Structure 1
Amino acid sequence: MSTPTPRPLDEVAIRASFARYRFASFAEGIALLVLVSIMVMRYGVYHGEGLFTSTSHTWETISQTWSPIHGVIYMVYVVLSFDLWMRMRWSLPRMLLLMLFGVVPVLSFFGERWTHQKMESDLRQRPTLQDEEHPRR
């Protein structure tokens, strides 16, 4: 009995999906850094009563405005990560790792590079629909 041949990946669709993921990864990284900066200003620098009371209210307003925006950006990041994960047919732990990249400040930038390397490695090793059109070297 022979081992079943894995279904080939669609390299063109994967590369398009990765381009969307890359954009979302950078957007999420920047949005998360902005959110962390706002939280530092709100709770660290201008927290409490006294001299900075009006400034504290300003940072509270900024925080209440930016937090939902960041939430939407993260949800878009999650959807695009899921799309790439499905197209690459990666394992569940890889999906969880992609989600984690968007939660820790600055990690999305490094996670994007790591994901790109893994994707390229997998595309070299696994069969794709485009192999018949352009044989690998």
Structure 2
Amino acid sequence: MIVVQSALKPYRVMAYIVGVMLLLLCAAMVVKYGFDNGTFVAVIGPVHGFLYMVYLLAALNLGLKARWPVGYLLLVLIAGTIPFLSFVVEKSATVRVTREIEAAASTA
């Protein structure tokens, strides 16, 4: 279970980063379409896109190591595309992995 625990921290960090970047991107979209200034979208959009790919790798790594069901893994993977969802799913995944680690430790 140490392997799963080592994959948890990069996932948690990326979930928070991607969540914050997505909120910034949403604000930049408001500025673009509300005030006709696309500068922020041009900067934040590609950065969020790259960080989302890193998030996908971190989430996939954790999901495979924790042996999550495919449906749950897909939910975690798309969480970085819906504002605020990455924060909710990150908490859920952290609780789930922590319970699995504690259960494995108590049976060993």
TM-score, length of structure 2 as denominator length: 0.90
- Cα displacement (A) at 1:12: 1.6
Preserved contact between residue 18 and residue 48 of structure 2 (Cα < 8 Å): yes
User: What is the identity, as a one-letter code, of the residue corresponding to 1:13?
Assistant: V
- 1:36, 1:78 → 2: CA distance? 20
Which residue number in structure 2 is paired with residue 103 of structure 1? 81
Aligned residue among 9, 19, 22 for 2:9 = 19
Equivalent of 2:50, from 69, 72, 80?
Answer: 72
2:22 is equivalent to residue 61 of structure 1: no
Provide the alpha-carbon RMSD of the alignment: 1.7
Distance across 2 between alignment mates of 1:40 and 1:97 = 26
Take 2:88 and 2:41, find their aligned partners in 1: how far apart are those partners? 26
Count of aligned pairs between the two proteins: 108
Distance in 1 (alpha carbons) for counterparts of 2:50 and 2:25: 13
User: Quick one: distance in 2 between partners of 1:66 and 1:102?
Assistant: 14
The one-letter amino acid of 1:108's match is: S
For residue 102 of structure 1, give the secondary structure of its aligned residue in structure 2: helix
Structure 1 residues 14-72: Cα deviation after superposition (integer angstroms, max 9, x where no partner): 111100000000000000000000001111x21xxxxxxxxx2xx31221122111100
Q: Percent of counterpart pairs with the same letter?
A: 26
Within 1, Cα distance between the matches of 2:99 and 2:78? 21
Structure 2 unaligned spans of 5+: none
Alignment of 1:1-137 (within 5 A): 11-43=1-33, 45-46=34-35, 56=36, 59-125=37-103, 127=104, 131=105
Matched residue, 1:49: none
Bigger helix fraction: 2
Secondary structure at 1:105's aligned position in 2? coil
**Higher Rg:** 1
Unaligned runs of 5+ in 1: 1-10, 47-55
SS at 1:42's partner residue?
helix
